Amino acid sequence: MKKLPPSEWNLSRRAFLGGTAAATALAALDASASPDATKSLPAPFELEEATVADLQAGMREGKYTAHGLTERYLSRIAALDRSGPLPLSSVIEVNPDALAIAQALDEERKSKGARGPLHGIPVLLKDNIATTDRMQTTAGSLSLVGAVPSREAFLVAKLRAAGAVILGKTNLSEWANFRSTRSASGWSGRGGQCRNPYALDRTPSGSSSGSGAATSANFCAVSVGTETDGSIVSPSSACSLVGLKPTVGLVSRAGIIPISQSQDTAGPMTRTVADAAVLLTVLAGIDPADAATAHSEGHTGLDYTKFLDADGLKGARIGVPREHYYGYHAATDALAEQALEVMRSKGAIIIDPAPIPNVAKLQEHEFEVMLYEFKAGTEAWLASLGDKTKLRTLADLIRYNEEHSDRELPYFGQELFRQAQARGPLTDAKYRKALAACRKLSREQGLDAVMRKHRLDALVAPTEAPPSLIDLVNGDHWLGSSSTPAAVSGYATLTVPAGYVRGLPVGLSFIGQAWSEPTLLKLAYAYEQATRHRRPPGFLPTAELRLLAGR
């Protein structure tokens, strides 16, 4: 990606948002490129690409049980995520109670029937989403091991009430990738380096990297990620998934380790648009512990599957924001052009170009807001843990990392921690000015302006370029992405598979206004049904360079 202009922030947007990898595993990246490496490809998996509807039908018919599904997914995780010369490292821990929970749900199904579409469905959660079971909630940091929160996240309670089986926690970019200016996405001190299941030497991207890699690898039915700027849509694009970043306030953030109170949200990461709609239906809800959810009144309690329409592109007005969001990678642009042709063929009206005003002005203001909100949010989280941790401030975390530098700082530092530590409280005039600028430029003078001018249903742009190589020496290398307008405004965006470049996934983002989830799901579902781009990953050692040589 383009680097931001402020000299103190030598960091790509995706890099900050989105157990240590062994040296032998890193060295194996080159050695594994031989043709013989393909002999270790995973065996066929009975549940590969199974949707929530498939699994529910199987349980109704007696073909599956929740216990059996959980057992199969746990076995696959054990076989592919934690063993071999290059383990995927997408699951940071499994739930020791998952099988017992599944068994109880099977008995309940027999006696009372299913609670709904997620009854007995195994779900993975990002390791910044609080649970009060026997699992940890650490944001990937060793500093929070043992500091179990006193309350579960509101969305976890909703999942449990819906009958979901919490299968485990996923690895992530430590502290949701807001620690270093040279981080490698998918690395955490606790979980090591997560890899991309399409090419094991490639980044899984974003900070919800484990949720993306695990869901794509069929380690669960669906997963939940979190996003501040790109951390759902980026790994979803890199792992050929559907990723939905909801409007801020549609899904409660209570019980989620924060970065930014103005931009954070949780959302679905799934293999199909239909599964994203099922999961969003459960996740959405008003929570008194998160004031932002009060604004979602009228948008919760919906069955989002009702908006799925294979003819949903007919008559839709789609804008193309070429400035800033196209032109950074020719092969990615080519896939986007093919997508636009598909939409035209399905009756969409394409407005091209439809530039988003003021996007170039967002970055510096957004970063300033992040620094202030991260410090305030992190210290509030530490305070909520009470006597379960001795850490109380961001300065304490910085000191912890220095004292455990062999495990926490072996590849990159904590420059963002230090920059945030230098900021004051949220009453500072500098923060308030930056926040006001973000809201004005991204909303009424940004997305709202272009949508109103052209009477658009959505904007469409490549989510990002194909995933780059993992680089623990220099950090992430990004060419471009389209997540920022929806992130800064707090509006909705949804990415869906758009194809592959040398076997590496590329996603297409549908970007809307506040509370536009029904429209985005309709449009994305119609595009998905017309293209069917997603194919399961092959766990190849590297990209398909030889297969496409000379093309």
Nearest to 215 by CA among 170, 176, 177, 175: 170
The conformation of residue 296, written as its DSSP 8-state character, comes to G
10 Å CB burial of residue 401 (0-12, 13-18, 19+) is buried
CB 181 within 8 Å of CB 15: yes
CB 256 within 8 Å of CB 211: no
Q: What Cα–Cα distance (Å) separates residue 190 from each residue in 142, 193, 424, 473?
A: 6, 9, 30, 19
Among 32, 89, 90, 126, the active-site one is 126
Mean pLDDT calculated for residue range 23-47: 51
- Round to whole Å and give the CA distance between 278 and 355: 32
Residues 432-449: tens digit of each pLDDT: 999 999 999 999 999 999
Helices 52-60 and 66-80, axial angle in degrees (round to 10): 130
pLDDT value of position 19: 34
In the predicted structure, residue 31 carries a pLDDT above the cut 60: no
CA angle, 114 then 116 then 121, to 5°: 85
In the numeric block, which tokens belong to residue 474?
């220099």
In the numeric block, which tokens belong to residue 103?
């068994």
In the numeric block, which tokens belong to residue 199?
């090419």
pLDDT value of position 86: 84
In the predicted structure, residue 25 carries a pLDDT above the cut 60: no
Is position 34 annotated as part of the catalytic site?
no
Residues 434-493: tens digit of each pLDDT: 999 999 999 999 999 999 999 999 999 999 999 999 999 999 999 999 999 999 999 999
In the predicted structure, residue 549 carries a pLDDT above the cut 70: no
Nearest to 237 by CA among 454, 526, 464: 464
In the numeric block, which tokens belong to residue 427?
């009453």
pLDDT value of position 304: 98
Helix (H, G, I), strand (E, B) or coil at 278: helix
The domain limits of the chain are 13-29+47-531
The conformation of residue 319, written as its DSSP 8-state character, comes to E
pLDDT value of position 495: 99
Amino acid at 541: P
Phi, psi of 210 (to 5 degrees): -65, -40
Among 223, 231, 236, 260, the active-site one is 231
Question: Please, which pLDDT band fits residue 40 given cuts at 50, 70 and 90?
Answer: low
CA angle, 83 then 535 then 503, to 5°: 80
Predicted TM-score (pTM) above 0.75: yes
The conformation of residue 542, written as its DSSP 8-state character, comes to S
CB 128 within 8 Å of CB 139: yes
Helices (DSSP H) in 394-511: which residue ranges?
394-403, 405-408, 415-421, 429-442, 448-454, 484-489
Residues 190-207: tens digit of each pLDDT: 999 999 999 999 999 999
Residues in CB range of 44: below 8 A, 6 or more apart = none
- Round to whole Å and give the CA distance between 191 and 194: 8
Rounded to whole angstroms, the maximal C-alpha distance in the chain is 63
Q: How far apart are the first and last CA of the chain?
A: 25
Residues in CB range of 362: below 8 A, 6 or more apart = 438, 441, 442, 446, 484, 485, 488
- Round to whole Å and give the CA distance between 466 and 468: 6
Question: Please, which pLDDT band fits residue 546 given cuts at 50, 70 and 90?
Answer: confident
Question: Please, which pLDDT band fits residue 41 given cuts at 50, 70 and 90?
Answer: low
Helix (H, G, I), strand (E, B) or coil at 245: strand
Residues 299-338: tens digit of each pLDDT: 999 999 999 999 999 999 999 999 999 999 999 999 999 9
Question: Which CATH number is associated with domain 13-29+47-531?
Answer: 3.90.1300.10
CB 374 within 8 Å of CB 178: yes
Is position 522 annotated as part of the catalytic site?
no
CB 240 within 8 Å of CB 49: no
In the predicted structure, residue 39 carries a pLDDT above the cut 60: no
Is position 223 annotated as part of the catalytic site?
no
10 Å CB burial of residue 300 (0-12, 13-18, 19+) is middle
Residues 108-126: tens digit of each pLDDT: 999 999 999 999 999 999 9
In the numeric block, which tokens belong to residue 380?
């509030």
Q: What Cα–Cα distance (Å) separates residue 397 from each residue in 9, 174, 226, 255, 534?
A: 20, 13, 22, 19, 41
Among 90, 207, 296, 489, the active-site one is 207
Residues 185-194: tens digit of each pLDDT: 999 999 999 9
Question: Please, which pLDDT band fits residue 32 given cuts at 50, 70 and 90?
Answer: very low
Q: Which residue has the higher pLDDT, 85 or 315?
A: 315
Residue carrying structure tokens 């009702």: 306
Q: Average pLDDT of the chain?
A: 92
Mean pLDDT calculated for residue range 392-418: 98
- Round to whole Å and give the CA distance between 284 and 302: 8
- HSE at residue 357, side-chain half, CA atoms within 13 A, is 14
